[in-house]
Amino acid sequence: MSDHPLESVFRPRAVALYGISRNMQNRSNQFFLRGLMDQGFHEAAPLYLVNPNADAIAGLRCYPSLSDCPDPVDYVISLVPAETAEGLVEECIAKGVRALHLYTGGFAENLDPDRAALERRLIDRARSGGLRVIGPNCMGLYQPAARMAFIPGHPKEAGDISVVCQSGGNAMDIISGLGQRGARFAKVVSFGNGTDLGAAELLEYAAVDPEARIVLAYVEDTSDGRALFEALRRCARAKPTIVLKGGISSAGARAARSHTASLAGSHEVFIAACRQAGAAVVHSLDELIDLAVALSTRLSSVAGPRAVLLAVGGGYSVLTTDALAGCGIDLPELDATTLARLREVVPTDGNSIENPIDTGYMGEDSEEALRIVTDAAAHDANSDFLITMLRGSNLSPEEEQRAIKELAVLQERSGTPVAIAARRDVGQLAEESLRLAYDRGVAVFPGPVSAGRAVGLLLEWRRQREGLPSLP
C-alpha cells in the first residue's frame, strides 16, 4: 500500500514530540514519551524532543525548535496549548512535516465560538500547506509495527485488528480489553474532533490497508453522513467491520458535543445505514470486544444459534439459559447419541445431562469422564456451538493451557466452534492462557452470556449481509 496517500502519515520515519515537559511526571510525557520509548521507537528511528529550555529529557537530546532538528521530520505530536498551535502549524509546514497529531485540546469541543474559529483557521492553513492533522483533542496513533504508541504498556507485537476511534479513552479500553483476550493490533487511531482526518477517510484507508483484517470503529460525529456511509460500505464489503456509535441518547449527544464537538444526526438513520453498508452494529464496548473476539476465532464460522452449555451449578445454569435465550441463543435438547454417551459417565444424582449440562457432582477422579462429556457435547448433532466453562476456579496456568489445547483440538476435529466462558471475568485465566486460546482460534469470554450475545450479534450481522457479496 506504499502508494496510498495516508501511508506517509501512518509510517513516519522520524517523529518529534513538540512541547515535551522536563518534568517526567507531566501527564503528556507519561503518555507519549513513555509510550514511544516503551515500544522502542527511539531505537529504530529518530525521535526528536522539542523544548527550548532543556538539553535532554529521559536521555534524549532536546532541540529548541522544529527547524533545529537536524534531519527531516514526518510526524509531530503537539503537546502545546491551543493558543500557540497556529505557530506550530507554520513551523511544521516550513519543516515539511507530513502529519501533525494535535493531542492539544481546547478547540471546538469547548463550545466557544472563538475556539471553534481558531480550529477552523488552523486546519485550513494546514491543508493549504500540505500538512495532514490528526485531532485535535486526541491520543493519535498506536501501531506496534511502527513502534508507535500513545501510552506505555500496550502490546509490542503487531496483529491484524485496526481501530478507528473518536475517543482516546475508548481506544485504550479497546486495546487493553481486546489485548487481554489475546488479540493484537495493526493500527489504532484515536482522532478526537477529526476536523481534518475524520472517520470517513480513516475507514477508507482501513478498507484497503492490507495489515487490517478486521476493523472496529467508535464514532460520535456523523454529520458527514454521505462520506461516512460510503467509507463504511467500502470497508464493510472488504472486511468484517464493527461499529459502535456514541451519543445515541439526547444526553449522550450533548456529552459527545462537549467531548469531540460532534454533531450527531438521527441515530436510527445512522444505524440503518451501517446495516445497509454491511457493518455489524454493537451497543457497548463490551459487545464490541466480544464480537471482535468471535470474528477473529473459529467461532466466526458458527452455523446457527443452537448451543450446548457445559456449566457447573443448577441455579446458575437456569439463569444463564434464560439470559442466553434473551440473546437469541437456544439450548436445544441433545440428540440421542449424545445423551447415551453422557448417561454412561455422568452420575444422575446432583447432575443434569439435559442441556445445559450440569456436572457439579462428578466425584474426585472425574477428569476422564469430563473429557468424554465435553467430546460428546461438541459432537452433538442438534447444536451449532459449545459454550464451556473451564473446570475448577483454581486451575494452575499449566492446567488451563492443557485444557485449552484439548479444546482447540476438539474444535478442529469436531468442526464445532468452542467458546470458553469464565465465571465473571477473563482475568480469572492466566495471561498466557488467554494468548494461547486466541492463537489457537478458541474464543474466550467473561461469561457464558457474553459468549451467547457475541454469537447472537454475529448471526444478526450475517443475516443483514444477505444479498451482499461474501467477504474474502
For the CA atoms of 36, 42, 47, 48, the dihedral, rounded to the nearest 10 degrees, stands at: 110
Q: Backbone dihedral region of 467: left (phi > 0), alpha (psi from -120 to 50 degrees) or beta?
A: left
Q: Is 344 in the site for its own copies (CB under 8 A)?
A: no
- For cell 466425584, what's the residue? 363
Task: Choose between 168 and 179: whose C-beta lies nearer to its own copies.
Answer: 168
Sign of CA dihedral 113, 119, 125, 127: negative
Task: Tell which one of 63, 218, 438, 461 touches its own copies (CB under 8 A).
Answer: 218
Task: Tell which one of 39, 317, 416, 433 touches its own copies (CB under 8 A).
Answer: 317
Per-residue b/e over 296-318, b at no fewer than 16 CB within 10 Å?
bbbbbebeebbbbbbbbeeebbe
Task: Tell which one of 22, 30, 65, 106 touches its own copies (CB under 8 A).
Answer: 106
Task: Tell which one of 129, 225, 265, 314 touches its own copies (CB under 8 A).
Answer: 314
Q: Is 82 in the site for its own copies (CB under 8 A)?
A: yes
DSSP state of 72: -
DSSP state of 335: P
For residue 199, give the C-alpha cell.
472517520
What's the closest the beta carbon of residue 192 comes to its own copies, in angstroms? 9
Q: Please state, in angstroms and rounded to a whole number, the distance separating the CA atoms of residues 198 and 219.
A: 10
Select the span of 234-242, 295-303, 315-323, 437-445 touching its own copies (CB under 8 A). 315-323
What's the closest the beta carbon of residue 324 comes to its own copies, in angstroms? 8
Task: Tell which one of 330, 375, 432, 460 touches its own copies (CB under 8 A).
Answer: 330
What's the closest the beta carbon of residue 148 comes to its own copies, in angstroms? 20
Task: Choose between 130 and 326: whose C-beta lies nearer to its own copies.
Answer: 326
Window 377 to 406, contacts with its own copies (CB under 8 A): none
Task: Choose between 157 and 322: whose C-beta lies nearer to its own copies.
Answer: 322
Q: Please state, in angstroms and rounded to a whole number, the distance separating the CA atoms of residues 167 and 190.
A: 6
What phi and psi, each to the nearest 5 degrees, are found at residue 113? Answer: -55, -35
What phi and psi, each to the nearest 5 degrees, are found at residue 164? Answer: -110, 110
Q: Is 425 in the site for its own copies (CB under 8 A)?
A: yes
Select the span of 200-208, 229-237, 330-338, 430-438 touching its own copies (CB under 8 A). 330-338
**For residue 390, what are the CA distances in angstroms to 1, 52, 182, 397, 444?**
43, 57, 17, 12, 10
Task: Choose between 212 and 329: whose C-beta lies nearer to its own copies.
Answer: 329
Question: Is residue 450 packed enough to be buried (19+ CB in 10 Å), middle (13-18) or exposed (0-12)?
Answer: buried
Q: Is 319 in the site for its own copies (CB under 8 A)?
A: yes
What's the closest the beta carbon of residue 111 comes to its own copies, in angstroms? 8
Q: What mask, x for binding its own copies by CB under 8 A, covers residues 349 to 368?
A: xx-x-xxx-x-xx-------
Q: Is 85 in the site for its own copies (CB under 8 A)?
A: no
Task: Tell which one of 285, 289, 302, 377 touches its own copies (CB under 8 A).
Answer: 285
Select the span of 2-10, 14-22, 347-355, 367-375 touching its own copies (CB under 8 A). 347-355
- For cell 481486546, what's the residue? 178
Task: Tell which one of 168, 182, 198, 278 touches its own copies (CB under 8 A).
Answer: 168
Closest CA to 217 of 249, 195, 194, 196: 194
Beta bridge partners of 242: 216, 280
Report the side by side order of strands in the sheet with 140-142.
140-142, 185-190, 158-165, 214-219, 241-245, 280-282
What phi and psi, each to the nearest 5 degrees, are found at residue 295? Answer: -75, -20
Q: Please state, in angstroms and rounded to a whole number, the distance separating the CA atoms of residues 299 and 295.
A: 7
What's the closest the beta carbon of residue 433 comes to its own copies, in angstroms? 20
Q: Is 114 in the site for its own copies (CB under 8 A)?
A: no
Q: Is 153 in the site for its own copies (CB under 8 A)?
A: no
DSSP state of 149: -
Task: Choose between 188 and 238: whose C-beta lies nearer to its own copies.
Answer: 188
> Where do contacts with its own copies occur on this chain (CB under 8 A)?
27, 81-82, 105-106, 109-110, 112, 137, 165-171, 173, 218, 220, 244, 246-252, 254-260, 283-285, 313-319, 321-326, 330-333, 348-350, 352, 354-356, 358, 360-361, 425
